[in-house]
Amino acid sequence: MRYLPKSPAERQEMLAAIGVKSIEELFSSIPERFRLREPLKIPGPYSEAEVIQYFKERAAENSNGYTSFLGAGVYNHLRSVVTDAVIQRGEFLTSYTPYQAEITQGTLQAIFEFQTLMCQLTGQEVANASMYDGSTATTEAVLMAERLTGRRRVLVARSVHPEYRDVLKTYAKNSGLHVEEIPFTASGTVDAKALQAALKDDVAAVVVQSPNFFGVIETLAPLAEATHASGGMLVVAIAEGVSLGLVRPPVEADIVAMEAQSFGLAPSYGGPFAGVIASRDKFVRQMPGRLAGQTTDAEGRRGFVLTLATREQHIRREKATSNICTNQALCALAATVHLTLLGKEGLREMAQQNLSKAQFALSELLKIPGVKRMFDAPFFNEFVVEFPRSVKLINAQLLRDKIIGPLALGTAYPELTKRALVCVTETTTRVEIERFAGALKRALEQPI
Amino acid sequence: MNERIKKATTHTNQNEGLIFEKSSPGKRAFELPPLDVPAADPTKALGASHRREGVEGFPEVSEIEVLRHFTRLSTWNYAIDLGMYPLGSCTMKYNPRVNEFVARLDGIATEHPYQPQELSQGCLKILRLLEKCLLEITGMDAITLQPAAGAQGEMTGLLLIRGYLEKQGNPRKKVLIPDSAHGTNPATAVIAGYEVENIKSESHGQIDVDKLRDLVTEDVAALMITNPSTLGIFEQRIPEIAEILHAKGALLYMDGANMNALTGVTRPGDLGVDVMHLNLHKTFSTPHGGGGPGAGPVAMKKILEPFRPVPILVEKEDGRLTLEPVRRDSIGKVKAFAGNFGVLVRALAYILAYGPGVRQATEDAVLNANYIRKNLEGVFDLPYSLPSMHEVVFSDSIQKQNGVNTMDIAKRLIDYGFHPYTTAFPLIVPGALMIEPTESESKEECDLFIDAMKAIADEAATKPEIVKTAPHTTRVRRLDEVGAARKPILRWKPATPRSEAAD
């Protein structure tokens, strides 16, 4: 087998050195009756070429050749080939969690740079590296607020990503948290009046997303004010990080939970991505996840170490801030490289293109009889449209034109049937937008 | 020059500051295609109050500077691609490059989790085949691929147990965890809403079965066991342990972190285990990437199947696959979307490359650990003498007599060209040296490691100072961790922070 570096003779030599006659003897501690006698029934062995062939065949059964208008927490953005060149260097790819700081300064400094970039983006003071994704980051942010406030009620806006809310509910159920949902207004933003009515002095966290699941930007200052007045913490989730190139960061938030997928990570059918928690310095000791800190060695040279480990499970065991161990380090590195490549101007320009194309797409769609925009608050690169008939039927038509249509909202929001969430990024060309509008127009002209 | 250091020599590497320190306005490393629609006015579109002018402090550098920056940083890392990485319980094995290649294919990396399922059959077939392979390897009945890492797998497993017990009327209160367990186990039990009760190991490092019998009451939901244990020893009485638990209605959870010792040789499902997680970034070779991403599938017996996280992958009669979003008894979702798909792809590529021959990998891993054990026994103290599987745990008690501890020896290994083994874990061995070579090491690399360990043991006896002050060849020496934690500096700030001055 090509991955195994031993010849039969070397194996024999090693067995002899150990003082056993056969490899079987080394497994003698496994009771005889439980040792497998038959080979496992799994396919293979495959040569490298066969492995590639298998996956190319599977790839061909997917969506190659289609233009997609899906976003909803997973975004298709330009990615430089430089990012992959960096993260495929074996020194990054095949290195372990940097507990041995002297020989992992590369990873540690990159994590420190990641933390800095995340602080700059979110307007927060400290950021961890990293959580599994936006959904678990949001959940861990709520658990952090619970520890900081000692309270158990959580108010989460219904305009937060449905899957983030689902994950929060799974974790909450056994942590004694009570999760209540706050409706959205006709503008698509969180209903501040309903929030105010639900806010009492037992609320640990108010969770909103911005841009929210409908693509709409929330006005955070009054939400923060109301939350803080009742002694709770404002958690702001961000699923589309590119928005931060143009949209004011959530400086009013006590904790920001961000999905970093938009920063150089492929959609990859939903993962691996990287979650981030950013917050205030004063809350750092209740933060979950890994943190790299700057320090010096005996000779005064700058270096980096994993720090504040007394929060973590390998030291604190059942008293840890989280059970997270393995995180999404290589994804965080990809985001670091990607954002460094984009830089200040590149990120601004990317955000500007997203905004412009989404505005253009909306104006094209609104030209189609029967298509209306739902919600009127400002949006970034996603918006909700209302159709005169079922989104499912329309999308089935669009598929014939090799277009993957917008996300039907009726599944997650029963009151939003015939509404769809359209996403347009800098990767969507004008031609594709016009083709989509044309196909949609034709689809709506078809008799049902 | 120390001639006993055979594997490594020092060489020049490049200094490099923080990327923010290289930044200069106007430089850029990325250009977008020109905008092909009318440019929107951000103030008009977003409203002035939502508008941001740009990210303060963001780097402005060129492409070559970015590439050099990260390439230079990379050379400061040790990696499996450079040599043996004997971190006990971490299973740092070779990460085949073809796995990286296939995970990046168009049609694999490009797929959106919400695209129509008829356009996702390739993705779903990959998931289905991986499920089948992992079920065959573990001897279990059902599986979920959703958890993002081992710790999340543990949580999922305990929530399955909780769901099952709740359905029977009582979720129970406690989870039993041996004192040799990974720290994630107790941290996870708390998240799943259970109290932790630690069980002390008996004198050979195994679960004390008699004590267990007393501890298992109707209050106990489960025992979390690691097999082989963190001492690298197979829990021989595991079927009996399962019987004790089952007799009281409790379940047996197995932490599969050490599955590299068992794959193709024995199956947890056959041993009486009810539910377990696998660390695909350990046993199934997906790269550790400096701390992730991983994946922590959870395999289970039939009784737990109804409680799996949604969506559930289902094979229709016509052979088509779908993800079903709703199940009445499901514990819910533990992560958005369908798991760390890209990691699952890599794990399947690994399994297909071996096929049933994966048993040979297990055998070589156990062979390597025992070869190292045989050669270092006596040089280092072996606190537990039961047969080793994939890893061996020594203690520093011999070297301690000269004031040299496990961390010193580990740091000195760096000078000899190796990554340290796992230090100070498991907690039941004071001053532990936990060594897991994996199957990826040749006899030559094992011999070099053994030589290095013997040379360090000699140094510890004759000139302990050199060990206690190691490493001597790295670009930084031991770093001030206490200072780092006392006054944390967790982000770069410009030399004269204008915003703070304004405050």
Say if A76 is an interface residue toward chain B (CB within 8 Å).
yes
What's the pLDDT band for A175 if we cut at 50, 70, 90?
confident
Model confidence pLDDT, tens digit, residues A115-128: 999 999 999 999 99
Provide the shortest C-alpha distance from residue B214 to chain A (in Å): 23
Q: Closest partner residue to A343 among B58, B113, B155, by Cβ?
A: B58
Question: What is the residue type of A222?
Answer: P
How large is the average pLDDT for residues A272-295?
Answer: 97
- Could you tell me the CA-to-CA distances from A308 to A128, A175, B188 in Å, in that order? 11, 24, 20
3-state DSSP helix/strand/coil percent for chain B, to nearest 5? 40, 10, 50
The proportion of chain B whose per-residue pLDDT surpasses 70, expressed as a percent, equals 98
Q: Closest partner residue to B73 among A110, A272, A328, by Cβ?
A: A110
Q: Tell me the chain B residues in contact with residue A339 when contact means C-beta distances shorter than 8 Å.
A: 58-59
What's the pLDDT band for B497 if we cut at 50, 70, 90?
low
CATH of B358-485, one of 3.90.1150.10, 3.60.21.10, 3.30.457.10, 2.30.42.10: 3.90.1150.10
* pLDDT at residue A156 in the model: 98
- Could you tell me the CA-to-CA distances from B398 to A73, A415, B432, B451, B460 in Å, in that order? 56, 71, 12, 18, 9
Residue in chain B lying closest to A82 (CA): B67
Q: Tell me the chain B residues in contact with residue A85 when contact means C-beta distances shorter than 8 Å.
A: 67
Q: Closest partner residue to B107 among A51, A60, A135, by Cβ?
A: A60
| Matching fold, domains A67-78+344-445 and A81-338 | no
Provide the shortest C-alpha distance from residue A380 to chain B (in Å): 8
Say if A393 is an interface residue toward chain B (CB within 8 Å).
no
CB atoms within 10 A of CB B427: 14
CATH 3.40.640.10 assigned to domain B101-356? The reply is yes
Model confidence pLDDT, tens digit, residues B357-400: 999 999 999 999 999 999 999 999 999 999 999 999 999 999 99
Provide the shortest C-alpha distance from residue B147 to chain A (in Å): 9
Q: Is the pLDDT of residue A12 over 70?
A: yes
Q: Tell me the chain B residues in contact with residue A267 when contact means C-beta distances shorter than 8 Å.
A: 109-113
Token pair, residue A125, equals: 């003071």
Q: Tell me the chain A residues in contact with residue B136 when contact means C-beta distances shorter than 8 Å.
A: 40-42
Q: Closest partner residue to A116 among B95, B292, B492, by Cβ?
A: B492
**Could you tell me whether strands A407-408 and B174-178 are parallel, antiparallel, or unpaired per DSSP bridges?**
unpaired
A·B CB contacts under 8 A? 687
Mean pLDDT (chain B, rounded): 95
- Candidates B62, B71, B74: best to mutate against A (most CBs of A within 10 A) is B74
> With an 8 Å Cβ cutoff, are A330 and B183 in contact?
no
Provide the shortest C-alpha distance from residue A399 to chain B (in Å): 9
What's the pLDDT band for B71 if we cut at 50, 70, 90?
very high
* pLDDT at residue B1 in the model: 62
Per-position DSSP letters for A336-401, written without gaps between them: HHHHHHHHHHHHHHHHHHHHHHHHHHHHHHHTSTT-EEE--S-BSSEEEEE-SS-HHHHHHHHHHT
**Of residues A275, A271, A267, A337, the one with CA closest to residue A80:** A337
Alpha carbon B16 to its chain centroid, in Å, reads 29
> With an 8 Å Cβ cutoff, are A331 and B419 in contact?
no
Q: Tell me the chain A residues in contact with residue B108 when contact means C-beta distances shorter than 8 Å.
A: 55, 58-59, 62, 268-269
Residue in chain A lying closest to B311 (CA): A163
Q: Is B432 helix (H, G, I), strand (E, B) or coil?
A: strand
The Cα A372–Cα A365 span in angstroms is 8
The proportion of chain A whose per-residue pLDDT surpasses 90, expressed as a percent, equals 94
* CATH T-level assignment (fold) for domain A81-338: Aspartate Aminotransferase; domain 2 (3.40.640)
Q: Name the residue ranges covered by the structural domains of chain A.
A: 67-78+344-445, 81-338
Say if A333 is an interface residue toward chain B (CB within 8 Å).
yes
Per-position DSSP letters for A252-316, written without gaps between them: T-SEEEEE-TTTT---GGG-S--EEEEE-GGGGGG--S--EEEEEBTT--EEEEE--GGGSHHHH
Q: Is the pLDDT of residue A136 over 80?
A: yes
Mean pLDDT (chain A, rounded): 97
* pLDDT at residue B500 in the model: 47
* pLDDT at residue A447 in the model: 84
Q: Tell me the chain B residues in contact with residue A296 when contact means C-beta distances shorter than 8 Å.
A: 479-480, 483
The Cα A326–Cα B296 span in angstroms is 10
How large is the average pLDDT for residues A418-437?
Answer: 98
Report yes or no for ipTM above 0.85: yes
CB contact at 8 A, A387 and A394: yes
Q: What DSSP designation does A190 have? A: B
Question: What is the residue type of B30?
Answer: F
| Matching fold, domains B101-356 and B358-485 | no
> With an 8 Å Cβ cutoff, are A43 and B352 in contact?
yes
Say if A103 is an interface residue toward chain B (CB within 8 Å).
yes
Per-position DSSP letters for B236-258, written without gaps between them: TTHHHHHHHHHHTT-EEEEEETT
Q: Name the residue ranges covered by the structural domains of chain B.
A: 1-46+55-76, 101-356, 358-485
pTM of the model: 0.97
Model confidence pLDDT, tens digit, residues B196-235: 999 998 888 899 999 999 999 999 999 999 999 999 999 9
> With an 8 Å Cβ cutoff, are A58 and B95 in contact?
no
Q: What DSSP designation does A249 have? A: P
> With an 8 Å Cβ cutoff, are B122 and A411 in contact?
no
- Name the CATH superfamily for A67-78+344-445: Aspartate Aminotransferase, domain 1 (3.90.1150.10)
Q: Is B410 exposed, middle or buried (0-12, 13-18, 19+ CB in 10 A)?
A: buried
> With an 8 Å Cβ cutoff, are B45 and A359 in contact?
yes
Say if A398 is an interface residue toward chain B (CB within 8 Å).
no
